[in-house]
Amino acid sequence: MQSIRIETPSPDGAEADADGTRPGPGRGLPPLLAGAATAVSAAGALLASTDSGSPLRAPCALLFLLVAPAVAIAVALRGLDPLGRAVTALAGAVVADMLIAQGMLAVHRWSPRGGVVAVTVLSLLILLPALFRTRKSGNRTQD
């Protein structure tokens, strides 16, 4: 028996492309914003690492300190729905930053450069096992 799939038009009248995206302006906005956030946070890490006197150093470095652990946690939690993953990743990033700052203050080794390095290392430690798990599960063949 063969089932017939009936497609209903979207409520706003816009038809979807073959890949499920709607045509028109704004469909490439999320990847563009993600790329811009990545570029700005990478610039913030670079500015903080070089002790630049730029007025953009503080806001860009703060963006890096929030985005780097949040992305790493979001990749590790790929099984959650998007809203739950975003909220959990953001909360986890704040907690990671606070723990790093608390540890650096406790040992009297606080510096902006050290904070950026510590957040980078922690984010990589969270991200790498998740990426290896993805590659390992993606290489399996089904019998």
- Tens-binned pLDDT, residue by residue, of the chain (143 aa): 666 666 665 555 555 555 555 666 767 777 788 888 889 989 988 988 888 888 888 899 999 999 999 999 999 998 889 899 999 999 999 999 999 999 999 999 988 899 999 999 999 999 999 888 877 766 555 54
pTM: 0.72
Residue 134 in tokens: 């993805």
Give me the numbers of helices (H) and strands (E) for the chain, helices first please.
4, 0
